[in-house]
């Protein structure tokens, strides 16, 4: 079980020197960079101590190589660190195979979960071994061709003369907006939904009174008094007939709504009053009028 004290004594991994020379050369370059960050971060500026720590953390395999390098041997503690680094640089140095390095560059694609900025960093690291004369253009083309988001690719292809800096800026904004939209969608999808008990707890609205819809057979004509049709139906037997009570047409006297008995029917009176039938008042019999006068005299 490792402790914090153990982690301080082993801040970086031991250098792995197994495998092809070009792979080992790249490991040495990265390991040397990590070691430099370590001594700078801990304020270790003594050359003799830097030399000892380098060989200690690099591991026994590197220590054996160091002992075999005559150019690294020196009794001067002030230059021991720099001489050892230079000797190991020469030992691990590997002349790049440019066609192969460019082939590796062309096969690089964006990984799942990797941002465009991270993909661009990997491409730039590989491009250092490719001896490109137009490195930014090569990076731009590789990014556009091998990004995973087809919609972003279409967006980038809309500008024929787009620069690498614009590609990175557009991709950064695109990915940020995409993450924000997904976050909003997740919040909407995870919003609480009313349960059946919540719905049942809501007070139901008062039911509206039911309106009885009469069937055709329940209808009663107000002009003839017979069921089965409307008052204005052409099949009504009172259609065209004259009421014997009010002398109006199209209804029987049994369905007449006039009060009292009107004067005898004449054609001239019908023509004169036909336009004001709704305003005509029923006329009382002459005997009834005389009876009213007689009653007034007794009072």
Query: End of a domain among 185, 210, 242?
Result: 185
Please report whether residue 203 resides in a domain. no
| CATH number of the CATH domain containing 147 | 1.10.1200
Nearest-CA neighbor of 127 among 103, 151, 94? 103
Please report whether residue 209 resides in a domain. no
Q: Are 84 and 66 contacting, i.e. CB atoms less than 8 angstroms apart?
A: yes
Per DSSP, the residues of 122-167 read: HHHHHHTTTT-SSHHHHHHHHHHHH-S-HHHHHHHHT-TT--HHHH
Please report whether residue 295 resides in a domain. no
Residue 134: HSE in the Cβ half-sphere, 13 Å Cα cutoff: 7
Same domain, 227 and 267: yes
Indicate left, alpha or beta for 15 from its phi (over 0: left) and psi (-120 to 50: alpha).
Answer: beta
Each of the 299 residues of the chain gets a pLDDT tens digit; together they read 444 444 455 568 899 999 888 889 889 989 999 999 999 988 999 999 999 999 999 999 999 998 888 766 677 778 889 889 999 998 988 787 899 889 999 999 999 999 999 999 999 989 988 999 999 999 999 999 999 999 999 999 999 999 999 999 999 999 999 888 888 887 777 777 666 666 666 666 566 566 555 555 567 888 888 887 777 777 888 888 888 888 888 888 888 887 655 444 444 444 444 444 444 455 555 555 555 555 454 44
Same domain, 122 and 152: yes
Same domain, 106 and 167: yes
Count of domains observed in the chain: 3
pTM to 2 decimal places? 0.49
Spell 170-199 as b/e; 16+ CB within 10 A means b. bbeebeeeeeeeeeeeeeeeeeeeeeeeee
Please report whether residue 227 resides in a domain. yes
DSSP 8-state assignment for residue 10: -
Same domain, 107 and 79: no
pLDDT at 146: 96
Same domain, 153 and 174: yes
| Segment holding 298, helix H or strand E | helix 286-298
Q: What is the pLDDT of residues 63-97, one digit of tens each?
A: 999 888 876 667 777 888 988 999 999 898 878 78
Same domain, 105 and 169: yes
Same domain, 41 and 65: yes
Q: Are 29 and 40 contacting, i.e. CB atoms less than 8 angstroms apart?
A: no
pLDDT at 212: 59
Same domain, 86 and 19: yes
Q: Which residues contact 242 (CB under 8 A, 6 or more apart)?
A: 248, 249, 265
Torsion angle in degrees (nearest 10) through CA of 125, 130, 133, 138: -60
Residue 193: HSE in the Cβ half-sphere, 13 Å Cα cutoff: 4
| Residue 72 vs residues 4, 42, 84: alpha-carbon distances, Å | 34, 25, 5
* C-alpha span between 252 and 153 (Å, rounded): 88
Q: Are 274 and 266 contacting, i.e. CB atoms less than 8 angstroms apart?
A: no
Query: End of a domain among 92, 122, 155?
Result: 92
Q: What is the pLDDT of residues 112-156, one digit of tens each?
A: 999 999 999 999 989 988 999 999 999 999 999 999 999 999 999
Nearest-CA neighbor of 116 among 158, 161, 159, 178? 178
Please report whether residue 294 resides in a domain. no
Question: In which domain, by residue range, is 252 found?
Answer: 218-275
Same domain, 254 and 271: yes
pLDDT at 276: 45
In the block, residue with structure tokens 């690498």: 164
Please report whether residue 292 resides in a domain. no
pLDDT at 273: 46
Query: End of a domain among 66, 92, 118?
Result: 92
Same domain, 48 and 127: no
Q: How far apart are the first and last CA of the chain?
A: 132
Q: Are 47 and 80 contacting, i.e. CB atoms less than 8 angstroms apart?
A: yes
Same domain, 88 and 149: no
Please report whether residue 240 resides in a domain. yes
Same domain, 74 and 103: no
Residues in the chain: 299
pLDDT at 238: 80
């Amino acid at each position: 079980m490792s402790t914090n004290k153990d982690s301080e004594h082993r801040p970086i991994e031991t250098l792995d020197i197994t495998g092809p020379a070009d792979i080992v050369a790249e490991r040495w370059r990265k390991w040397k960079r990590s070691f430099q960050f370590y001594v700078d971060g801990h304020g270790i500026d003594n050359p003799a101590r830097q030399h000892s720590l380098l060989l200690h953390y690099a591991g026994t395999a590197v220590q054996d190589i160091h002992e075999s390098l005559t150019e690294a041997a020196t009794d001067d503690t002030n230059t021991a660190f720099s001489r050892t680094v230079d000797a190991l640089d020469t030992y691990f140095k590997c002349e790049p195979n440019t066609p192969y390095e460019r082939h590796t560059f062309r096969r690089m694609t964006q990984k799942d979960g990797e941002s465009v900025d991270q993909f661009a960093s990997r491409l730039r690291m590989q491009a250092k071994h490719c001896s490109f004369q137009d490195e930014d253009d090569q990076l731009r083309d590789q990014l556009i061709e091998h990004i995973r988001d087809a919609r972003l690719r279409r967006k980038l292809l809309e500008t024929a003369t787009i620069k690498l800096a614009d590609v990175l800026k557009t991709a950064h904004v695109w990915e940020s907006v995409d993450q924000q939209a997904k976050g909003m969608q997740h919040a909407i999808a995870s919003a609480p939904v009313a349960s059946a008990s919540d719905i049942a707890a809501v007070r139901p609205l008062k039911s509206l009174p039911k309106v009885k819809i009469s069937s055709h057979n329940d209808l009663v004509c107000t002009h003839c008094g017979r069921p089965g049709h409307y008052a204005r139906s052409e099949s009504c037997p009172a259609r065209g007939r004259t009421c014997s009570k009010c002398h109006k047409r199209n209804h029987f006297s049994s369905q007449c709504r006039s009060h009292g008995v009107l004067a005898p029917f004449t054609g001239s009176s019908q023509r004169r009053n036909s336009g004001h039938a709704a305003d005509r008042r029923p006329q009382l019999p002459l005997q009834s009028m005389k009876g009213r006068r007689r009653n007034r005299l007794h009072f």
